[in-house]
Structure 1
Amino acid sequence: MSEFLYDSDKDLYSLLSLTSEATPADIKKAYHRLALQYHPDKHTNSTPEQREEATRKFQSLGYAYAILSDTKKRERYDKTGDVDGFEDFDDMGKEGWDAFFKELWSGVVSSKSIEEFRNEYQGSPEERSDLINAYKKYKGDMNLIMENITCGSIEDEPRFIEILQGAISSKEIPSYKKFASSTASAARKKRRKEAEREAKEAEEMAKMYGLDQKLLKNNDDEEQLRQLILARGEKRMNALVESLEAKYGGSKPKRQKSSKEKQKTSKKQKEICISE
């Protein structure tokens, strides 16, 4: 596993905000929730550095889920705490990782699961807690808050602002100048305009991929959304890969290299092995 996909100092369970006592259902639910939150398409308005961080997090979540959702791999990990040596993952290369993450995402996140999760999550204490934590983390910056709330859309913004204003009034959270400026009329209009622009872009891309005709026949808007995310994500990930390649490189698990290997590596460009 490339070092930039997984920090060996971190426990796989902690990546999914779980403990080793988690059930298979807990693991799947945690991956589903966090993958939706850190999917690159949730961070289109972030800085390049923030998008890189979200992308790495998204890939790490996928790797953790791939191991912990597999009974044999999980048993081995629980015994050794080591992620090296899984034959399935050795020397996969860029194409292998591309197929791996795409299959993982499409296999777990379906139209039905998105709808079920949204219905359970929106308006729940968990959503409120995430909103409060995002407010604190981003010092009231509503632009970043909106990007980091799972299933949050521009239509949820008035509800989120009302919740946060109530929490400020009750002294539950501090008042930040950034919150006042980023929730002013001009800032809200700018976010809505951006959301409308992205919606138009999504519609055009749906036509490009034939998703509007193929999927709307089944009246399955959520499935169309899922497929569109895959299509858009592939395009966006190509750009992100370039910056990650320059920063991290490498496509094999970390290990000690011989002097010959080091000389050989210095003469060739390192390959990156992530994609959605």
Structure 2
Amino acid sequence: MPSLLENCRNFFDTDNLYKILNVEKTATEKELKKGYHRQSLAVHPDRVGKDEKDEATQKFQTLGRVYNLLQDKTRREIYDETGDIDEENDVTQDRDWYDYWRLLFHHITMTDIKNYKEKYQGSEEELKDLKEAYIDAEGDMDVIIDSVLCATIDDEKRFTDILADLIKKKEIPKFKAFTNEKKSKKNARKQKADEEAKEAEAHAKKLGINDEDSLTALIRKRQDSRQAASNDFFAQLEAKYAEPAKKKSKVDGKKKKK
């Protein structure tokens, strides 16, 4: 069986455990957990097809073992000092990493998404994200809408007005893709959005599910069509504000939240 470091090199092209979690060597326990959460969303086996499932599962398990080691103070100190890993005393190799992940992180609900959307839209955070998306996409509205959290075709007019004002104030550069966008491109974007909405609605109707599940289906449809795990709508949203699952303890034979 390959060692943990061998798996790290195989799946992440590095044996630097901190780099795998995308954190600094001085990372706090909270920063380690946040880094693990972000990375686990990007490599979670549920995000790939059957053909890639086995490899994705191994990568997910490797990531879990990396986090588990670094959050153990003693094992982390040994790794920091020597660069080696004591695998002989690693009792986590056979752990169910799916269950471990679910214990650590709160499951996102549609209510969470709606609440976040209400706080996010129109905020300084959204404005910052919009500016960055505009510059990164060089004014391509297709990419901008796909990049900004919670954005849909309904936000296009609002985004256009905001960006036009920022260009006028010279806070962002002027890109031809934005200022000279052809009407045919706008129409194609609207048509695509309408088709996705109809597909989600039809899917919900077929399964007899409610509007919230229909929204979930639409989100899943969007992430499937983009095929961009690290930038996908649902993953970004979870990584931004998901809360850790609350620990439970048994009191008088009954479970009670701390």
TMscore range, shorter length: 0.5 to 0.7
- Answer yes or no: is the 8 Å Cα contact 1:131–1:145 preserved in 2: yes
Cα RMSD (Å): 4.9
- Give the match for residue 11 of structure 1: 19
Give, in angstroms, the shift of residue 117 of structure 1: 1.8
* 1:110-163 Cα distance to aligned partner (Å, 9 max, x none): 112212221221111111111111111111111111111111111111111111
Q: Give matches, 1:66-77, under 5 Å.
A: 74-75=71-72
Q: Shift of the alpha carbon at 1:234?
A: 9.9
1:115 paired with 2:86, answer: no
Once the two structures are superposed, what CA deviation does each residue of 1:212-247 show, in whole Å capped at 9, x if it has no partner?
Answer: x24x2xxxx3344336655x589779x99xxxxxxx
1:226 aligns with 2:216: yes
* SS class of match (2:71): helix
Structure 1, unpaired ranges of 5+: 41-55, 241-276
Cα deviation for residue 193 of structure 1 reads 0.9
Which ranges in structure 2 are unaligned for 5 or more consecutive residues? 1-6, 48-55, 229-258
Larger radius of gyration: 2
- Compute the displacement of 1:12 (Å): 4.7
Q: 1:21 to 1:225 in 2, by over 3 A?
A: same
Q: CA deviation at 1:109?
A: 2.3
TM-score scaled to structure 1, two decimals?
0.52
CA distance in 2, matches of 1:150, 1:11: 26
Q: Is this contact kept in 2: 1:154–1:195, CA < 8 A? A: yes
What is the Cα deviation at residue 108 of structure 1?
2.9
Alignment partner, residue 245 of structure 1: none
SS in 1 for 2:180: helix
1:174 and 1:229, CA in 2 relative to 1: closer, same or farther beyond 3 A? Answer: closer
- 2:200 aligns with 202
**Quick check: 2:130–2:144 contact (8 Å CA) kept in 1?**
yes
Q: Deviations for 1:144-203, whole angstroms, at most 9, x for unmatched residues? A: 111111111111111111111111111111101111233x43322221111000111112
CA distance in 1, matches of 2:93, 2:180: 47
Match for 1:147: what amino acid? Answer: D
With a CA cutoff of 8 Å and minimum separation of 6, indicate the structure with the bigger relative contact order. Answer: 1
Distance 2:138 2:148 in 1: 15
Is 1:141–1:179's contact at 8 Å kept on the other side of the alignment? yes
Per-residue deviation, 1:7 = 4.8
Is the Cα contact below 8 Å between 1:13 and 1:20 reproduced in 2?
no
Aligned to 2:163: 164
Residue correspondences, number: 196
Q: Could you tell me the TM-score, scaled by structure 2's length?
A: 0.55
Alignment of 1:196-275 (within 5 A): 196-208=194-206, 210=207, 213-214=208-209, 216=210, 221-226=211-216, 229=219, 232=221
How far apart in 1 are the matches of 2:164 and 2:60? 32
Tell me the equivalent position of 2:51.
none
- Aligned partners of 2:153 and 2:193 also within 8 Å: yes
Quick one: distance in 2 between partners of 1:119 and 1:61?
32
**Cα deviation, residue 63, structure 1:** 8.1
Q: Which runs of 4+ in 1 moved over 6 A?
A: 60-67, 84-87, 233-237
**Which residue number in structure 2 is paired with residue 148 of structure 1?**
147
**Which of 29, 34, 39 is residue 27 of structure 1 equivalent to?**
34
